[in-house]
Amino acid sequence: NRLKWIDLSWNGLGNEGALAIAECIRHNSILTYMDISCNRLTLDGAIVIAKGLDANETLKTLKMGQNSIGSDGVMAVLRGCHNERNVITELSFESICVEKEVLELLEEMRQSRELMVTHGDILSNYVIIGPPPRPEPAEDEAIIAEES
């Protein structure tokens, strides 16, 4: 068991592959770097991987960008890393948009460790600014406009 670094990106592993990845993460006591970007993982796959992360004590870098795990998947992975055993210092969720709750959890996690996380845009963070909507014309105004 000497594997310290593995790049499995762009392999189309899907959620079935997530089961094997989780087992690898759970039982490997040497692996420090894993890239599983672009593998058609979904929220279900992220949850399985998070369970593997919960037991891991050696993985320092995990790249999961460009998978369809969504903000909930990011939260699951972060929760899987949020314990005293876990030593992750770098997480990449490139091109995955997150909700504000992810930022709150990250802030909490950064109080106990150094942690660099990359992610896509922040959802629920936009306010639409523009002119107020026009009022609907009264019924008699609409009839006058049609006759003109």
- Per residue in 21-52, pLDDT (tens digit) is 999 999 999 999 999 999 999 999 999 999 99
Strand, coil or helix: 45: helix
φ and ψ of 133, to 5 deg? -65, 150
* CB neighbour list of residue 26: distance below 8 Å, 6 or more residues apart: 51, 52, 55, 56
What pLDDT score was predicted for residue 134? Answer: 73
pLDDT at 143 over 60: no
Q: What is the pLDDT of residue 140?
A: 61
What is the layout of strands, in order, in the sheet containing 33-35?
5-7, 33-35, 61-63, 90-93, 116-119
pTM of the shown model: 0.81
CB neighbour class for 106 (10 Å; exposed up to 12, middle 13-18, buried from 19): middle
Identify residue 26 by its one-letter amino acid code: R
**Pairing mode of beta strands 5-7, 90-93:** unpaired
- In tens, the pLDDT along 111-129 reads 999 999 999 988 765 566 6
For 66-100, the pLDDT digits (tens) are: 999 999 999 999 999 999 999 999 999 999 999 99
